[in-house]
A and B are shown apart, each in its own frame.
Chain A
């Protein structure tokens, strides 16, 4: 089942993936897909505005890297503040997923009248 990533979840996932190492935008999008076995995809054009917001908030920093072949790439890494925010936001996503599971689990056990 293939599902588009919700826009509000994108910054948290970006921070989570960057915790594994610095990446450029294309690699970020591919990593999210890989980690979800291709089930989760994002509108890649919305990735760069999200990266810009994270940069403005001081959570990530981007550095241009010249490539031997092809266009230059901007590689992003977490800042100190980004590490802290990464923990908070990924935990918030996990808690939300747990709550959803709990609610759906209870609905599943309800018997029709």
Chain B
């Protein structure tokens, strides 16, 4: 590329400091392609190499303006990601807290499987319902908050696990427990959370994929 354009690009690069390295590289890579194409077009129109190299930055904009607008656009993206992450984590955590209450209502108040069906059936019903709910949670988060769905679901589950342990420890310590209760209890909570978060993450991955491919964010080839 012409040295004048390299200097111009260096001046723009100097104003992209707030951007992380990869974002900065991508922006400059795109601008470089544009400047090269504009320069080549200028030469094709009959300008000399130097004339075209002088005209292109004037058409592109001052490094201050280009740098400031590029940084502002990047910051907007960071802000949207942050909102998406915390929104998804709050949604996930709220859902996970609400789920036991809903299950309690369904099982005890309306279906009463323990009263009319064998315990194995009842447990299968409860476990299936929970598994579907965790998948659904992940799917909803993936569709609504695709940017940070996976990490937000992991955070929601981490918070929920800590909440469960903090909630149940004072209750269980009031009663004398048999030997080996606590390791078994903690192991059960962690195992349950691992299973649940795996299902939620699978749902989040599927939801995000659906949104980015065939759903609200899918790419369609231009008509005509």
Contacts and interface: CB of A to CB of B under 8 A. Distances in A.
A24 B30 CA distance: 9
A72 B70 CA distance: 19
B37 A26 contact: yes
Contacts of B70: 48-49, 52
Given A56-B73, A70-B36, 13 more contacts: A20-B222, A25-B30, A44-B34, A46-B61, A48-B73, A49-B69, A58-B216, A58-B217, A70-B33, A73-B33, A74-B30, A80-B215, A80-B218
Nearest to A70: B36
B76 interface: yes
Interface of A: 18-22, 24-26, 29-30, 41, 43-46, 48-50, 52-53, 56, 58, 61, 67, 70-74, 77-81, 83
Nearest to B214: A80
B77 A56 contact: yes
B73 A45 contact: no
A49 B73 contact: yes
Contacts of A30: 41
A37 B76 CA distance: 34
Contact residues of B: prevailing secondary structure: helix
B210 to A, nearest CB: 12
A30 B70 CA distance: 21
Given A20-B222, A53-B73, A71-B32, A81 B80 contact: no
A26 B216 contact: no
Interface in B53-80: 59-61, 65-66, 69-70, 72-74, 76-77, 80
Contacts of A48: 27, 30-31, 34, 70, 73
Contacts of A52: 70, 73-74, 77
B38 interface: yes
Contact of B59 (A20, A44, A58, A81): A44
A86 B73 CA distance: 20
A79 B218 contact: yes
B219 interface: yes
User: Sorted from nearest, which 10 A-B pairs have the closest CB atoms?
Assistant: A45-B61, A45-B66, A49-B73, A71-B33, A52-B73, A49-B69, A26-B37, A45-B60, A43-B61, A58-B217
